[in-house]
Amino acid sequence: MSGSSSPDYKALFFKAEEERKRAEEERRLAEERQSADDLVKKLKAQLDQDLDHNCTPIGPCGSYGAPFKITCATFGYTVVGKGTTSRLWTEVSREAEVYRVLQRAQGSAVPVFLGAINLAQIYFLHGAGKIRHMLLMGWGGESMSHITLDKTIHRAISRSVKEIRSLGISHQDLRLENILWNAELKRALIIDFHRYTLDCRPMHKRPGPLKRLRRGPEECESKRLHVV
């Protein structure tokens, strides 16, 4: 009688199944990335030729950029562009790095990031200046300024803050102007990461949940949002 043990076929099966699922997920992400890259290339070519059509400013200008509604004439997809000037681009472009770190949170705690482009032409926008660069993202939701801040919203904001912190990102400018509400997902999506810091500490050594959220540059006691 041999002393060698027989292979653990059950363990081998589960290991093979895990590897198969991992390979499928990697293939799916690669396909999505390729689709996003193709869309960004189409949008850049379109905007380089014509900035007067399918490119419309929406909402108020922020201190670092202005939102645009951009429709791809070829595919029919509509995305959001954050346009900014050459003077501010060095700081704003840092957001692209953040969205790559937050890839697992895209579509749940932050919008889906598509890419960054440099425009061949200048789009002059009153209040913002000469727009020469854009970050392109999927539609994230409505501005919090139009939303009643009930318990559901508070919980959703807290959930998204915890999710991005779990991935090592500290926003550093968390205001209602930098949060969108997606009613379909029932999620709060956080935007505008140009002031972010990277937190490399282990999870148990990171700060606890944010206690206050500002509604604007000026903090008003009556307008503070408590995140629990």
Q: What is the pTM of this model?
A: 0.74
**Amino acid in the structure at residue 60:** P
Residue 15 to residue 23: CA distance in whole angstroms: 12
Q: Which of 25-39, 98-112, 173-187, 213-227 has the lowest mean pLDDT?
A: 213-227
What is the distance between the alpha carbons of residues 193 and 140, in angstroms, rounded to a whole number? 14
Distances in Å between the alpha carbon of 112 and those of 7, 53, 64, 210?
44, 24, 20, 24
Please indicate whether residue 82 or residue 226 has the higher confidence score (pLDDT).
82
For residues 111-115, give the mean pLDDT.
95
Same fold, 10-137 and 142-223: no
Q: Taking the domain 142-223, which CATH number applies?
A: 1.10.510.10
DSSP strand pairing (179-182 vs 197-198): unpaired
pLDDT over 70 at 149, yes or no: yes
Query: What is the predicted pLDDT for the residue at 146?
Result: 79
Residue 82 has pLDDT above 70, yes or no: yes
Q: Delimit the domains of the chain by residue range.
A: 10-137, 142-223
CATH T-level topology, domain 10-137: Phosphorylase Kinase; domain 1 (3.30.200)
